[in-house]
Amino acid sequence: MLRRSTIVFRRALTAVVSCPNETATASHNFTGEISRIASAIASVCKKGLWACCARTASSSQSSREGLARASRRKELSGSIQTLQNLPGSLPWVLDRTAEHYDAEFVLIDMSPGLGAINQNLFTTSDFFIVPTNPDFFSVMAIDSLSTVIPRWQDWARRAAENPVLQDAAYPFPKPQARFLGTVVQKFRPRRGTPSAAFAQWIVEIQERIDTLLIPALEQSGMLLDRELYGRCGLEADFTLGVIADFNSLIAASQTHQTPIYALSAEQIGKAGVVLEAAEQSRDEFRSAFEAMAEKVCCLIES
């Protein structure tokens, strides 16, 4: 049996409250309506999202000011106690759900955003895969990930050491996300390989991965053993698989709620040479997905 693993495919709003010698520093992610609480915290000292609790500086200060500060400290402490369970709650829910269904893998298809929820899902996963499309936007995305992922990892390490988050009902787990590789997808093949226009973008994306993403991940301790990638069938470019456009097969897959590689002739709904071509594509996709799954299992099991 494999150890259960969470794999994700891919700026948090952060409030920090620090009361020297009184309240431990606490860092939390917020989203949705919770952001209003963060805004309230920020308004206390009018210093962005830093809310500072200060001791009485002079005995000449009025008792009203002292009571006001005490009231603010109480409000802030209450907010921290309320919000301290949020960062660790998502991985807790995923683990309990996986246990219920006896799942060995949890696959999370993340949105392309850099919000708090994605940050939480990413930093509490065990492994991650970076999918790319051969276009300009993926080139930009690799540039962004090279700076965002290390920053997220640094935040997660600090969160895992924060006593407030560790004393929560759902403690924030120690970050251990490791890079499995990239997937090249959504391109039109010509004679089994990407056409010249797509190939140009694939080369540029790979250059960004080699020069920006891999060094950043290595410095953050988010790579597996370099030799392991080679033993598991990945080339020096860290590519897990190359998946072309599904074309008409995607419509049949969605209609019958069946994976593309498992579609039957009846589900494909074609005849003659068109059916033969569709079945050949289906089988090629099955082989590509099986090869990619074998590489992933090899990397995780090792």
Task: Name the nearest CA neighbour of 84 among 156, 160, 10, 171.
Answer: 171
pLDDT tier, 81 (very low <50, low <70, confident <90, very high otherwise)? low
Over 90: is that where the pLDDT of 151 sits?
A: yes
Residue 260 has a pLDDT of 86
E strand segments, 220-266: 239-243
pLDDT in tens, 102-132: 988 888 888 888 888 899 999 999 999 999 8
Q: Alpha-carbon distance 121 to 203, whole Å? A: 30
For residue range 39-50, what is the model confidence (pLDDT) as tens digits?
Answer: 433 333 333 333
Of residues 161, 124, 127, 94, the one with CA closest to residue 12: 124
Average pLDDT, the chain: 74
Two tokens, residue 78: 């209450």
Residue ranges of the domains in the chain? 14-83, 93-301
Length of the chain: 302
Strands (E), the chain: 5-9, 13-19, 23-30, 50-52, 105-109, 127-132, 178-185, 189-190, 193-194, 239-243
pTM: 0.70
CB within 8 Å of 25: residues ≥ 6 apart: 16, 17, 18, 162, 164
Task: Give CA–CA dist 222/105, Å, rounded.
Answer: 19
